[in-house]
Amino acid sequence: MAPPRRILYAIGPGDAVHVYREWSEGREVTAETSITFSSQFFDYCLQTSTEAFAVSSHPRREVVREGLFVVENRPKRFANANGAFYHLSELHYAASILWTALCHRPDAVIIDSGTTHWFLLAPLRIARIPVIASMHNVLWPPGFPPSRPAGRLLLWLAGWFWRHIAQATICVSPECERQVHAIAGKPRGRVFQYRAQFRRSLFESVAPRPPHELRPFRVLFVGRVEANKGVFDLVAMAERLNTLLPGQFEWHVCGHGSASAEVARQVRSRGLQDVVFLLGKLDQGALRNEYGWAHLVVVPTRSDIGEGLSMAAAEAVLAQRPVVSSDRCFRGRFRGGAAGRCGELCGDHPPSRRGWYGICPEGRGVQGGPAAVPRSGERVARGVGSSHRLAGLSCQGRSPAQGYHSSAASTIPTRMIVARSLVGCQPRTFFAFEES
């Protein structure tokens, strides 16, 4: 009888021990809306009698050993360091993963992006241990490749890793796959895509959208409260709109992060306590209620983000809520083109069944009605399976804006609202959203 297979999985920064305990006791991790990747890995190992060694970089150090499973929170030293100390931290963590692999001799090592520098895993090839790269993050912010010599060198070394080391690669989005091919040319192993998984029951129970005419208009942000998630831009949007249209907007911020305290301070200092409500990180039930409360979800992700796919935008689509987003969320093509840069959320809402949502850094509201949508030069994107239309207005008359096709058009109707800021053009682009 062949011995059980062994897999070593470097699983990212999440609390793997907590997820394992919840999974082993048959409970779902309600702090996450999607089904956690680590619990899916545990399911696979249990069903196939595979020995699993899961390592996360969560800062709370702990190890659990039960049957087939060894699950460890192994924090990084100097995790928040910069410069040379950051690279030393990556080297130290890579050495710890390599040592674990050499001690346990797994049949494969799966490495999540962000675990360490990819090229540092090269000794695994010498040890004849296959390496599978799991790409949850992009290698560089889309449209902003590294310009400094150190960044370009790391990308070149990552390309060498994919040409000579990686046995296979799985990517959470088309953009991740595109970047792997861009730096590697022809990767050594096959490259696959996968998607986050959600339970249908969670979104089927979201309440219908509130009436469009209901005021204040309800805007929801869901995600980590970090600068690169656009939370400070969100506060600026709220202040500008509250000045232009007092009492017409209400904002709920669901999440927690390193910028939470500063966001709270800015909300107080700008007198927005009755406009912007900071709700913290919510579990599935409370978050489902927030999606039911909202007219609209805003995802103002900035260009220095490294996420491979915006889970917040995907969840909003599943909850059947319109999304105002930056193109950082859907830069890679699922179906059709992506949009442009997110500026300020502005809104003036004509009656009937028409909703207008605009992005304009100048903070000007969307003006006019249906007649403002030009017939000449407009491009229209249709979401598969829905009767919704996105019409792009030209940018100061220079060139038409691009439409946006659903990122998940093959599976669910979508209501995506995105603005395009063209290169060399002062961004004053709007999109009209119509229900026909």
Query: Between vectors from CA 345 to CA 141 and to CA 429, what angle results, nearest 5°?
Result: 75
Pick the more confident residue, 415 or 23: 23
State the average pLDDT over residues 209-213. Answer: 90
Please give the Cα distance from 240 to 359 (Å, whole number): 13
State the architecture of 6-193 in CATH terms: 3-Layer(aba) Sandwich (3.40)
Distances (CA, A) of 196 to 303, 409, 433: 22, 15, 27
**Residue 430: pLDDT over 60:** no
- Percentage of the residues of the chain whose pLDDT score is greater than 90: 50
Same fold, 6-193 and 201-435: yes
The pLDDT of residue 310 is 82
* pLDDT band, residue 330 (cuts 50/70/90): low
Instruction: Judge: domain 201-435, CATH 3.30.950.10.
Output: no
Tell how far CA 136 is from the center of its chain: 9
Domain ranges of the chain: 6-193, 201-435
Tell how far CA 72 is from the center of its chain: 25
pLDDT tens digits, one per residue of 361-385? 333 332 222 222 223 222 222 222 2
State the average pLDDT over residues 242-270. Answer: 93
The pLDDT of residue 228 is 86
**Residue 17: pLDDT over 90:** yes
| pTM, 2 dp | 0.72
* Residues counted in the chain: 436
**Residue 389: pLDDT over 70:** no
User: 58: which 2 tokens?
Assistant: 């969560």
The pLDDT of residue 35 is 86
pLDDT tens digits, one per residue of 58-67? 999 999 999 9
Number of C-beta neighbours around residue 26 at 10 A: 6
The pLDDT of residue 142 is 80
**Residue 399: pLDDT over 90:** no
The pLDDT of residue 196 is 85
* pLDDT band, residue 141 (cuts 50/70/90): confident
Strand partners, 197: 35
